[in-house]
Each structure stands twice: as structure tokens, then as C-alpha cells.
């Protein structure tokens, strides 16, 4: 059962406006899954967990839309880590 949504975002010179389409897609699929952004920029990586207002539904349509924007394989569900 998926409990997290991970988004791999690649690109140098990434701006806030580049992430607006991601925000809009997530807003159209609200739910309970935590969303993690894995930013891969030239020479560095960062992983950010989004706030509660960006939680998403475990929806394959959501993944299809995000993959169309970010590239195939760059949006995926994972189970929550066990405590």
C-alpha cells in the first residue's frame, strides 16, 4: 500500500515558476500521501518533504500527469518506512 509519493526533479537553473505545474497537479489530486521532492541540480541534490497542504491521493492518473511533466519514472509511490 503506497504511503509516499516521490518526485524526481532534474535541472539546473530551476525556478519557483518551474514548479507551479507540479503544484497545480498535486492540488487536483488531494489526499493523505506525503510528497517528497528529490531535486537533482548540477553538482548537488536535495530532498524536501512538502507540507500537509501538498499531500496527494494514491492515484495512477496523478502519476501519469506528473510523468508527462517530469519524465517517465520520475514520479512513483513507495510504502511508508516502518518504525
pLDDT at 19: 86
pLDDT digits (tens, 9 = 90+) for 4-37: 999 999 876 777 888 899 999 999 999 999 999 9
Q: How far apart are CA 61 and CA 73, in angstroms?
A: 14
Which residue matches cell numbers 500500500?
1
- Provide φ and ψ at 21, rounded to 5°: -60, -35
pLDDT at 11: 78
What number is the average pLDDT over the span 47-76?
94
Cell, residue 30: 488531494
Cell, residue 64: 501519469
Sign of CA dihedral 73, 25, 19, 53: negative
> For strand 30-41 and strand 4-10, is the pairing parallel, antiparallel, or unpaired?
parallel
Q: How far apart are CA 73 and CA 66, in angstroms?
A: 10
pLDDT at 62: 96
The DSSP secondary-structure symbol of 74 reads S
pLDDT at 16: 80
Q: pTM, whole model, 2 decimals?
A: 0.87
Amino acid at each position: 500500500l503506497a504511503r509516499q509519493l516521490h518526485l524526481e526533479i532534474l535541472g539546473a537553473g530551476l525556478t519557483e515558476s518551474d514548479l507551479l505545474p507540479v503544484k497545480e497537479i498535486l492540488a487536483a489530486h488531494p489526499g493523505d500521501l506525503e510528497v517528497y521532492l528529490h531535486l537533482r541540480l548540477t553538482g548537488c541534490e536535495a530532498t524536501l518533504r512538502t507540507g500537509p497542504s501538498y499531500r496527494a491521493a494514491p492515484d495512477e492518473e496523478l502519476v501519469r500527469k506528473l510523468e508527462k511533466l517530469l519524465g517517465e519514472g520520475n514520479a512513483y509511490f513507495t510504502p511508508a518506512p516502518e518504525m
